[in-house]
Amino acid sequence: MVASKIFGIVLAGGEGKRLMPLTVDRAKPAVPFAGQYRLIDFALSNLINSGLTQIVVLTQYKSHSLDRHVSQTWRLSGLLNSYVASVPAQQRLGKRWFSGSADAILQSLNLLRDEKPDIVVVVGADHVYRMDFSQMIEAHIASGAKATVAAIRQPISLADQFGVIEVDENDPTRIAAFLEKPLEPQGLPDAPHEVLASMGNYVFDADALIEAVERDGERTDSNHDMGGDIVPYFVGRGEAGVYDLQRNDMPGATDRDRYYWRDVGTIDSFFDAHQDLISTLPVFNLYNREWPIFSQQLNSPPAKFVRDARGNLGTVIDSIVSLGCLISGAHVERSVLGPWSLLESGAQVVNSVLFDRVRVEPDAIVRRAILDKDVVVGSGAGIGVDPARDRARGFTVTESGITVVGKGVHVVP
């Protein structure tokens, strides 16, 4: 790590409308993921593993479970002024909410003025990936840029889904243009079939960031967004650099998951990200001990797989099973089970994601579904078996056929 004083900001105030009903009463960064984690754990783990010890989480909507998770899980020692702290919207500039990610930083500038960092790392709270930010910080300082945007290579056919970075022909580490979801993008000089997509992670010189968000706050034609307004501000001044994730030497990574990054902002992408975890050689490997993903340590017994009263075995294939789970004569395949899930005799759970304390009663069937906390699937009931019927019962069903059942629902046959 470089000698400069570094400060981390995690933007965690978004509503997460596209993840409804999982975000009915929780902030998107607090949504459970991969059994025992929350989405915010990936951003915070990357920052902590990178050596950052002063980090704030800017929260806003429905933040209680997120604030509780941060306070219970991310307790640093307090020595040498180390901390991870949730900071809600403080209304320091008037009685209003954050109007965008840049406005969130503007309304929280007291945090920077108190700590007086040299460098500020700003990251989103709802992406699944691994990244060593210390390497990006060193590249930022060496480049002389005032702002550096982390980017990942994506097929040019997907450019209309991302903020796309066009690099300077004479210096591929400098940004020539930043385009939001372009329809006719230019490919990279060294890979015409690829573009650089913004990861939503940034490194700034602290004084330059403060000046930029203060200027942005005075504009009436701004959306006050980091990607849409602040980055173009630095690009226009010739002060924006890009950091290609391919430059990041991730400890413990394999060739299969080295450059994994997924925005899990929709139900389909959230579901697909879980499917990336469960193969024998996973696309994203949770078992990298050199760069661990930290989370709350549950005081729970191990998972248990037993025969039921009929003598049927509990079977699990290509799945992740969390602590406290009990599988009694049920079948689980290509699924992720959250803590304390109970699957009873003859139940089938296939290609699904279960959150905490879900109960699937005897002979019930769950297919291509996401079940939120405390859902009970009654004996003989089916979820994901008939998407049309699921819609008729009021459940969310995506165009790809994934059924989502909200927290605490009791599904009857």
Structure tokens at 301: 């017994």
Taking Cα atoms as reference points, which of 370, 389, 397, 332 lies closest to residue 412? 389
Q: Is 238 annotated as a binding residue?
A: no
- Say how far residue 356 (Cα) sits from the centre of its chain: 18
Q: Is 181 annotated as a binding residue?
A: yes
Taking Cα atoms as reference points, which of 122, 121, 147, 163 lies closest to residue 238? 147
d(CA 48, CA 290): 13
CB 295 within 8 A of CB 150: no
d(CA 321, CA 316): 9
Sheet arrangement for strand 348-350: 315-317, 331-333, 348-350, 365-367, 382-383
Taking Cα atoms as reference points, which of 92, 96, 85, 94 lies closest to residue 110? 92
Torsion, CA 153, CA 158, CA 160, CA 166, rounded to 10: 30
Taking Cα atoms as reference points, which of 254, 165, 166, 160 lies closest to residue 202? 165
Q: How would DSSP label each residue in 12-66? A: E----GGGTTTTSSS-GGGSEETTTEETHHHHHHHHHHTT--EEEEEE-TT-HHH
Structure tokens at 196: 């650089």
The answer to whether the Cα torsion of 309, 412, 272, 131 is positive or negative is negative
Q: Which residues are annotated as part of the binding site?
A: 163, 180-181, 198
Q: Which residues are annotated as part of the binding site for alpha-D-glucose 1-phosphate?
A: 163, 180-181, 198
